[in-house]
Structures are given as structure tokens and as C-alpha cells.
């Protein structure tokens, strides 16, 4: 019988290890039919001990490197559930203590990266069916029960809501409530994960500076946790493991059968192929990431900085602006035209995959540069890695109170703009849409209450109506898909703000628009290279809320004349704590409350 279960992703590992430990603790003397690796029958006590070792190994990894599936609105919940279950039910005091402290840090991460219980930030993994509104996120129920941040109720049967509602051992530290409800401006900078570069020149027996092995069979779980099955460095280990456990006929590994056929199982040939097509085939690789999130007064902007730009990927969510439970905006360079379905399936790459942008962010402003690093393949073996000649933005107009679209040169009485009724559940917001924007550099502004969004595309944009073409709309009846045609290369600039005084705040929505219109970005693009790929962009944007932002053709970004480089030594840097990568002692403070934990020992002090 073929077993198609995934045992090795970050969340699956802790789920299965938790089940093994708890079953073993509950039935210590029972003999289980599933043998160990040597064919020996194991008792419940044996399983509990093995599960314990795997759990502590997993916690050690997360304590050292942070979470692989960063800020995920889907899989953070799949980590919370087993961790809380261990805290509530395990008989092993060390496991309970260490699971408790890691649970604290995971909830701290979530408390910082939400507004209105919407975990509306960059994600290592997510799906269109989850990220388009807070209520469909797996993390929504947990955030609602713990912090009461939205007027929307959790879904019936929400796992997080149920488990945290009945928890008896675990008590949420007061400092996390204060972080979740903090309404002053702050920026969080983080580094998580392990660097894996599939573009590194091929060499025999590659070595890493950190000493981690690409060839040790005991490292399979470590690398596959990061979806590193196809970087050339791990390809021999992947093939050896697939051979040993007869994985080639499973759903996942059947996708690699063509390479097996071409190479005849030859490891050296497979390594060369993996290196040559590195920009295409590493669709879910979760390498090290630097994230920046700015939050203030109920509005949030978040980006994964310079994460695999120009390469093909599934499930990454590069950036998002969040103004409410449903009032959000983000862009993608889609991997396919929208599929005709009643809902957005995981395989639909219209909103959930394609070429990744080069993202830069400072405070409430970000620059997103799309420039593919390879030509979109036609029909054939590599067809699945193709992309469309466009980029587009998700902006659900009917959930905003007001939406104004301004073509290059601004609006005037002779611009030919029209005003339509967006409808929706929040009233009748005005949507000002130019009749025929022909010049590039169009701004779109949106307001949700006293929270503001500005979105600019270097290419001309147009709304696409999906209500008549059989593709998913998520129940939306008004425009939500803003498409920039003409190529997969484009520059999008986004800035958020709100009513009030100080950085990123404005007298009213009109003054927000005026400020951004006066700072319209300047974009230049080099000619295509000899390979025919789009030329590099230069971008200048004098952001009203963040200062002067400039991106050079080589991707270097400066802020007010100073080069901005991600600090790979920073695990957390924000007003609540400062922690270096690899440090396990974390001290969180907010509004007179404090939480001190040591992830390596399980020590915990709550004030």
C-alpha cells in the first residue's frame, strides 16, 4: 500500500511526534504492531521515549533558527495545536516546560503580526482560500479567543479557539495581551530559517560554514522540514531516501519521475539538472528569510525582504497591507490564469504562486519589483513553471469605505474619470475609476475607516471582472483584481497610513492622497539583456511616511542616503525585545508586564 502522508514538513513533524509521545504515555505496556527501524516490536514506553527525543530535537531547532513556515496564517495554527496539547496532557515535565516557552514565543510572534485578528503579514506558506480574509485563516480563532481583536466570531469547530478555551495548564502571559493591543507605531525586524542557496556553484561534497551536513541520513528531517528536496546540494540525499523507503510511487515523488527517467538514477546528472533549473524547480524551498513589519493605529504593512526574487514559487506570500479583517492588498506575478472553480484550490497559482518580487520595506512604505530571472517555458516538461505576462493586485473594493484610482498626471475635471457604487457590507463607498488610463504610474487609494492605503503600479492597470467568467470571487461582487498587463516585469509601490499626528499619520484621507501624489515614484528600466530577459529597474520614491527610498539596478536599497542591509544576526528587533539569532533567552516587556523565557531549558518567569 502506498502511503501519501507528509511526515516531514515543520508542522507535520511536531504533530506526529506529539501523537507518538502521548499514545506511548497513555499505553506504556502495550505492544504496537509498527516496528522500529530494525524490525523490533516497540512498547508504548519505547514510543514515548522516541517521540520525546524527536520533540526536543524539533524544539531545539526552532529555538535556534526560528520557524521555517514563517508567520504562516495556516501552519502556525498547526504548530500551536500540538504544542498546547503537549502542555495540557504530557506527563513529561521537560517536554511540558519547553513546549510552554516555545508556545509563548509563537504567540508573541502572532500578537505582533496582526491587526483586527488578521495575521495579515508576509507568510512562508499560505493559500488564497485562507489569506483573503481574516475569518478563513486557521489562526483567527486563536487570536480572537486570546486577545479579542475583532467583531467577527471564530468559525464553528475552530481548533485553536476550542483548545485554548478549555486549556487548564497554559495561561497566556499578560504581556502578550499588551503587545496584541499596542496602538502606537512600531517596526519589527526578524530573521528566521537556515540559508540554502541552490545557485551556489556545484562542487563535490559541499560543506557549510555552520557544519550542517547535506549528506547525513539523520539530516533528512531537518532539510525536508525546509522543503529542501530539490536544491542540488540535497538531491543525492533526497534520491537515496526515496530509494530506501520506496517513495517514487507516492504522489509527491511521482513529480520527480521524469528526472529519474532522464538520469537513470545517476546522482551526478541529477545534481547538474537541479543546478541548471534552480530558479524553477525549488518551488517551495524555505530558506532563511528577513521580514519587516510596520504596525500603527490599526494598519499594518509587512514584507519578506529580497526573498528569492525573480524565482518561481508556490505558497509564498511576499507582502501585504492590512487595514481590517477583509480590507487588505497584495500583489503577485501569477503562475496561471484563474481556474474555473467555486473556490480557490491550492493548485491555483493565480493568487498563490508565480515569480517572486524583490521586496524592500522601511516603515509604512515598500517597493515591490517583479523581474523574472528566467523565460517562461512553453508546453512540455517545464510547463508547470510558467508565468503570465502580467502582475496584479488583490484589492477587494467593496470592503473599503472609499476607493479612488488616479492615472498618471492626477485627476482633474477633464480626466474622464467616473464614479461608481462599490456596494458591499460596509456601506456604499465611492470608487473613482479613470475611464481610460493610458499612461503608466497610476495610483490607487483606499480608505477603511480612518486607515489609508496607497498602491502604485509602474505599468497601466485595469480591473478584471471575474463575476462573469466562471472563476472564483470569494463572494465578492465588485472589482477586486487590478491587473497590470504588458509583462511580468513591473514595479509596485505601497504605502499605508492613518488619521492622526506623527509618522505615517495624516489630517484626513485627502491629505494622505495629496502627500503620495506629490511623491509619485520615478522608475527607469535598463534594456533587455542578451538573454532577452527584462532589464533591471531603478526606483526613487520620496515616501511621505518613511523618507527617501532608492533601489539601484543591482538591488541595493538606500534609505535617506544610507544603504539598508538585512541584519542576519537579528532574531527579533522591536520595542518589546531585542534578541540575536541563536540566543535562547528572550525577555519581552510591554506596558509594565514582562515575560522571560529560556527556550533551551524551559525556564519561564511571568510578571
Per-residue pLDDT tens for 303-332?
Answer: 999 999 999 999 999 999 999 999 999 999
Identify whether the C-beta of residue 196 lies closer than 8 Å to the C-beta of residue 231: yes
Residues 6+ apart with CB under 8 A from 533: 371, 372, 373, 374, 375
Could you tell me the pLDDT band of residue 430, with boundaries at 50, 70 and 90? low
pLDDT score, position 556: 96
pLDDT score, position 440: 57
Could you tell me the pLDDT band of residue 580, with boundaries at 50, 70 and 90? very high
Task: Indicate whether 209 pLDDT > 70.
Answer: yes
Q: Cα 376–379–385 angle (5° rounding)?
A: 40
Per-residue pLDDT tens for 318-376?
Answer: 999 999 999 999 999 999 998 887 778 888 899 998 999 999 999 999 999 999 999 99
Per-residue pLDDT tens for 481-532?
Answer: 999 999 999 999 999 999 999 889 999 999 999 999 999 899 999 999 999 9
pLDDT score, position 414: 45
Top-confidence residue, 471 or 217:
217
Give the CA count within 13 Å in the CB-facing half-sphere of 159. 15
- For 567-599, the DSSP string reads -TTEEEEETTEEEETT--EEEEEETTEEEEEET
Residues 6+ apart with CB under 8 A from 341: 348, 471, 472
Task: Indicate whether 416 pLDDT > 70.
Answer: no
CA 231 remoteness from chain centre: 20
pLDDT score, position 339: 86
- For 332-381, the DSSP string reads EEESSPPP--SS--TT--TTTEEEPPEEEEETTEEEEEE--SSPPP-SST
Grid cell, residue 467, equals: 463575476
Element at 88 (helix H, strand E): helix 75-89
Identify whether the C-beta of residue 351 lies closer than 8 Å to the C-beta of residue 155: no
Task: Indicate whether 432 pLDDT > 70.
Answer: no
Compute the mean pLDDT over every residue in the chain, rounded to the nearest whole number. Answer: 92
Predicted structure pTM score: 0.94
pLDDT score, position 6: 82
Per-residue pLDDT tens for 77-104?
Answer: 999 999 999 999 999 999 999 999 999 9
Could you tell me the pLDDT band of residue 468, with boundaries at 50, 70 and 90? confident
Top-confidence residue, 468 or 63:
63
Identify whether the C-beta of residue 521 lies closer than 8 Å to the C-beta of residue 491: yes
Start-to-end C-alpha separation, the chain = 53
For strands 402-406 and 430-434, give the pairing: parallel
Per-residue pLDDT tens for 214-249?
Answer: 999 999 999 999 999 999 999 999 999 999 988 988
Q: Average of pLDDT values for 147-152?
A: 92
Look at the alpha carbons of 334, 308, 14, 1 in this order and tell me if their dihedral is positive or negative. positive
pLDDT score, position 288: 98
Could you tell me the pLDDT band of residue 4, with boundaries at 50, 70 and 90? confident
Task: Indicate whether 2 pLDDT > 90.
Answer: no
- Residues facing 589 on adjacent strands: 594
- Residues facing 506 on adjacent strands: 499
pLDDT score, position 437: 33
pLDDT score, position 346: 82
Residues constituting the chain? 607
Task: Indicate whether 431 pLDDT > 60.
Answer: no
pLDDT score, position 154: 86
Helix (H, G, I), strand (E, B) or coil at 319: strand
pLDDT score, position 296: 97
Top-confidence residue, 484 or 152:
484
Could you tell me the pLDDT band of residue 191, with boundaries at 50, 70 and 90? very high
Amino acid at each position: 500500500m502506498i502511503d501519501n502522508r507528509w511526515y516531514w514538513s515543520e508542522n507535520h513533524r511536531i504533530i506526529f511526534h506529539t501523537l507518538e509521545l502521548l499514545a506511548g504515555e497513555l499505553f506504556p505496556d502495550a505492544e504496537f504492531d509498527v516496528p522500529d527501524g530494525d524490525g523490533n516490536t516497540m512498547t508504548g514506553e519505547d514510543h514515548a521515549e522516541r517521540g520525546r527525543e524527536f520533540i526536543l530535537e524539533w524544539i531545539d531547532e526552532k529555538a535556534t533558527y526560528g520557524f521555517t513556515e514563517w508567520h504562516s496564517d495556516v501552519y502556525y495554527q498547526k504548530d500551536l495545536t500540538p504544542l498546547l496539547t503537549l502542555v495540557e496532557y504530557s506527563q513529561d515535565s521537560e517536554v511540558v516546560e519547553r513546549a510552554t516557552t516555545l508556545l509563548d514565543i509563537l504567540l508573541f510572534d502572532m500578537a505582533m503580526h496582526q491587526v483586527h485578528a488578521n495575521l495579515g503579514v508576509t507568510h512562508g506558506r499560505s493559500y488564497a482560500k485562507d489569506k483573503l480574509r481574516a475569518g478563513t485563516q486557521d489562526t483567527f480563532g486563536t487570536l480572537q479567543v486570546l486577545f479579542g481583536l475583532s467583531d467577527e466570531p471564530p468559525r464553528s469547530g475552530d481548533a485553536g479557539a476550542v483548545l485554548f478555551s478549555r486549556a487548564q495548564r497554559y495561561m497566556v502571559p499578560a504581556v502578550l495581551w499588551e503587545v496584541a493591543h499596542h496602538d502606537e507605531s512600531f517596526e519589527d525586524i526578524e530573521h528566521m530559517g537556515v540559508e540554502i542557496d541552490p545557485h551556489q556553484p556545484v562542487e563535490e561534497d559541499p560543506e557549510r560554514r555552520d557544519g550542517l551536513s547535506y549528506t547525513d541520513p539523520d539530516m533528512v528531517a531537518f532539510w525536508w522540514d525546509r522543503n529542501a528536496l530539490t536544491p542540488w546540494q540535497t538531491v543525492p540525499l533526497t534520491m537515496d531516501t526515496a530509494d530506501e523507503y520506496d517513495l517514487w510511487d507516492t504522489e509527491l515523488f511521482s513529480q520527480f519521475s521524469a528526472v529519474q527517467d532522464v538520469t537513470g538514477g545517476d546522482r551526478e546528472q541529477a545534481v547538474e539538472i537541479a543546478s541548471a533549473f534552480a530558479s524553477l524547480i525549488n518551488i517551495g524551498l524555505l530558506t532563511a528569510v528577513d521580514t519587516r513589519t510596520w504596525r500603527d493605529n490599526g494598519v499594518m504593512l509587512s514584507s519578506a525582504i529580497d526573498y528569492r526574487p525573480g524565482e518561481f514559487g508556490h505558497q509564498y506570500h511576499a507582502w501585504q497591507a492590512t487595514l481590517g479583517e477583509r480590507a487588505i492588498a497584495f500583489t503577485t506575478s501569477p503562475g496561471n490564469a484563474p481556474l474555473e472553480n467555486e473556490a480557490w484550490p491550492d493548485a491555483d497559482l493565480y493568487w498563490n504562486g508565480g515569480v517572486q518580487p524583490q521586496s524592500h520595506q522601511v516603515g509604512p512604505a515598500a517597493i515591490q519589483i517583479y523581474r523574472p530571472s528566467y523565460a517562461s517555458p512553453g508546453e512540455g516538461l517545464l510547463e508547470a513553471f510558467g508565468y503570465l505576462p502580467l502582475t496584479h493586485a488583490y484589492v477587494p473594493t467593496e470592503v473599503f469605505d472609499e476607493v479612488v484610482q488616479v492615472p498618471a498626471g492626477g485627476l482633474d475635471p477633464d480626466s474622464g474619470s467616473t464614479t461608481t457604487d462599490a456596494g458591499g457590507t460596509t456601506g456604499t463607498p465611492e470608487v473613482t475609476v479613470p475611464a481610460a488610463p493610458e499612461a503608466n504610474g497610476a495610483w490607487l487609494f483606499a480608505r477603511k475607516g480612518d486607515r489609508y492605503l496607497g498602491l502604485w503600479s509602474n505599468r497601466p492597470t485595469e480591473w478584471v471582472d471575474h463575476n462573469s467568467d466562471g472563476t472564483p470571487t470569494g463572494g465578492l461582487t465588485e472589482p477586486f483584481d487590478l491587473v497590470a498587463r504588458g509583462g511580468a516585469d513591473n514595479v509596485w509601490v505601497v504605502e499605508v497610513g492613518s488619521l492622526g499626528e506623527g509618522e505615517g499619520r495624516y489630517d484626513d484621507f485627502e491629505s494622505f492622497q495629496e502627500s503620495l501624489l506629490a511623491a509619485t515614484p520615478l522608475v527607469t528600466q535598463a534594456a533587455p539583456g542578451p538573454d532577452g530577459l527584462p532589464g533591471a529597474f531603478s526606483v526613487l520614491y520620496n515616501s511621505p511616511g518613511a523618507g527617501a527610498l532608492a533601489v539601484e539596478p543591482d538591488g541595493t536599497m538606500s534609505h535617506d542616503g544610507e544603504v539598508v542591509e538585512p541584519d542576519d544576526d537579528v532574531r527579533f528587533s522591536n520595542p518589546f525585545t531585542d534578541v540575536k539569532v541563536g540566543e535562547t533567552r528572550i525577555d519581552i516587556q510591554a506596558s509594565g508586564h514582562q515575560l522571560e523565557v529560556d527556550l533551551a531549558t524551559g525556564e519561564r518567569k511571568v510578571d
